[in-house]
């Protein structure tokens, strides 16, 4: 977690081909919002 500066839970990290491309630390979100985040 320290490698990615995670400071709170839940934090969602999105990786593409092993590279961190996005992060979200908004607390709990509806499943549809999380799916849209993951889809890009």
* Secondary structure, 3-state, the chain: CHHHCCCCCCCEEEEECCEEEEEECCCCCCHHHHHHHHHC
35 vs 9, more confident: 35
Q: What are phi and psi of 11, to 5 degrees?
A: -125, 130
Give the whole-number percent of the chain exceeding pLDDT 90.
57
User: What's the length of the chain?
Assistant: 40
Among 9-13, 16-20, 21-25, 30-34, which stretch is predicted with the lowest mean pLDDT? 9-13
pTM over cut 0.85: no
């Amino acid at each position: 977690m320290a490698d990615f500066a995670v400071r709170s839970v839940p934090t969602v990290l999105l990786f593409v081909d092993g590279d961190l491309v996005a992060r979200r630390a908004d607390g709990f979100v509806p499943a549809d919002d999380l799916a849209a985040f993951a889809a890009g």
